[in-house]
Amino acid sequence: MSQSDNHQRSLPGPSITEINGLLSQEQQKVDALVHIRDGLVRSNHNQALAQQNTRASACMVDEADRGLCSSVTKQSKTHKVSKNKREWHEDNALRCHSCNRSETPEWRRGPDGSRTLCNACGLHYAKLSRRTGKFVVLDKIGARGKT
């Protein structure tokens, strides 16, 4: 140790050299965390862009099942369906509007349109709508309970 280091050490605590070493280590940690954060931000941004592109190109078959897509964004235009309906539904995880199920052997038409009810709720809705008027059915299907 030189004489100047001894003068700096006259106060209790670490020397300037030790403090500089600790600061350097902390700066390396900060740099590593910033690098990780930047990678996550890039990854999240790329994921968001991929989801946005998927949504923009997703095709929903219209009620008449004509095989045409309805555009999700204003820029996209109508084009032919590239996937079959079942694959599209599996990718986008439909949920029954009555019981909130995501898996069913068949999606059925409900009060909100085609493919909005699971098989069981759709059959129940169809039965009630044949027996009574549609206005009464809307109240009963929700009151039926979650199955």
Q: What is the DSSP string of 97-108?
A: TTT--S--S--E
Sign of CA dihedral 74, 93, 101, 108: positive
Q: Within this chain, do residues 14 and 26 fall inside the same structural domain, yes or no? A: yes
User: How far apart (Å, rounded) are the C-alpha atoms in residues 107 and 61?
Assistant: 13
Whether 69 and 99 map to the same domain: the answer is no
Same domain, 112 and 135: yes
Angle between helices 134-143 and 119-131 (to 10 degrees): 140
| Residue 78 backbone phi and psi in degrees, to 5 | -65, 135
pLDDT in tens, the chain (147 residues): 555 555 555 678 889 999 999 999 999 999 999 999 998 888 888 888 887 776 655 544 444 444 444 444 444 444 444 455 555 545 567 889 989 888 999 999 988 888 899 999 999 988 888 888 765 555 556 555 544
Does 122 share its domain with 133? yes
Residue 103 sits in a domain whose CATH number is 3.30.50.10
The number of folded domains in the chain is 3
Same domain, 46 and 11: yes
What is the pTM for the complete model shown?
0.33
Burial (CB < 10 A; 0-12, 13-18, 19+), residue 74, is exposed
Residues 87, 112: one domain?
A: no
Confidence (pLDDT) at 96: 92
> Residues 83, 102: one domain?
no
Owning domain of residue 23: 3-57
